[in-house]
């Protein structure tokens, strides 16, 4: 019997393995790339999970309640991969950086003959959101129909305080 899985299922399995091996508190996760996922205005976190409206006992061992995190996105459309990505993010606890850090507006990352969309993402563990020093979409270019994302985060030698 063949059970169809998505690449997001494989990524979730790999993240769980890393957490089990090294301990969730010792890990920071960052995934960057073209996911062909259009997420529109969907939330990448479980809404109302700290109000008692969601049965926390049904969630994974790694789950911690989300805080509301506003995210901008110029691309208002949602596709099937976008729904799969949002489910993956809710299960893994990762967050979309695009449109959320350093004043980034969630600009489109693909510009082609059939239109434009935001499909290239930087997904991170929530605690990494506050470590971004820069996050820019460099816009369309002559080499690819995808825009380059350029970002920097604070390193171990940078001075910063946790809020």
Q: State residue 24's pLDDT score.
A: 82
Q: What is the mean pLDDT of residues 68-88?
A: 95
Q: State residue 46's pLDDT score.
A: 82
- Regarding the domain with residue range 7-153, which homologous superfamily does it belong to in the CATH classification? Endonuclease/exonuclease/phosphatase (3.60.10.10)
pLDDT tens digits, 16-55:
999 999 988 888 999 999 999 999 999 998 876 665 555 5
Q: State residue 155's pLDDT score.
A: 78
Cβ neighbours of residue 132 closer than 8 Å, sequence gap 6 or more: 97, 101, 102, 151, 152, 153, 154
Q: State residue 163's pLDDT score.
A: 41
Judged on CB neighbours under 10 Å (0-12, 13-18, 19+), 101 is buried
pLDDT-derived band at 56, boundaries 50, 70, 90? low
Q: State residue 5's pLDDT score.
A: 79
- Other CB atoms closer than 10 Å to residue 49's CB: what's the count? 18
What value does the mean pLDDT of the chain take?
87
Instruction: Enter the tokens of residue 53.
Output: 């409206």
79, 40 Cβ separation under 8 angstroms: no
pLDDT-derived band at 78, boundaries 50, 70, 90? very high
């Amino acid at each position: 019997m063949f059970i169809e899985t998505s690449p997001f299922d494989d990524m979730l399995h790999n993240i769980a393995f890393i957490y089990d091996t090294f301990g969730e508190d010792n890990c920071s996760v960052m995934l960057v790339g073209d996911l062909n996922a259009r997420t529109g205005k969907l939330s990448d976190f479980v809404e109302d999970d700290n109000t008692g409206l969601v049965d926390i006992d049904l969630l994974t061992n790694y789950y911690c309640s989300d805080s509301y995190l506003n995210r901008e996105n110029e691309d208002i459309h949602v596709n099937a991969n976008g729904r799969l990505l949002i489910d993956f993010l809710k299960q893994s606890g990762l967050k979309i950086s695009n449109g959320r850090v350093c004043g980034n507006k969630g600009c489109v990352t693909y510009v082609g003959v059939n239109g434009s969309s935001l499909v290239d993402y930087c997904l991170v563990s929530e605690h990494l959101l506050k470590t971004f020093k820069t996050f820019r979409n460099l816009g369309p270019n002559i080499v690819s129909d995808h825009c380059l994302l350029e970002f920097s985060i604070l390193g171990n030698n940078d001075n910063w305080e946790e809020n």
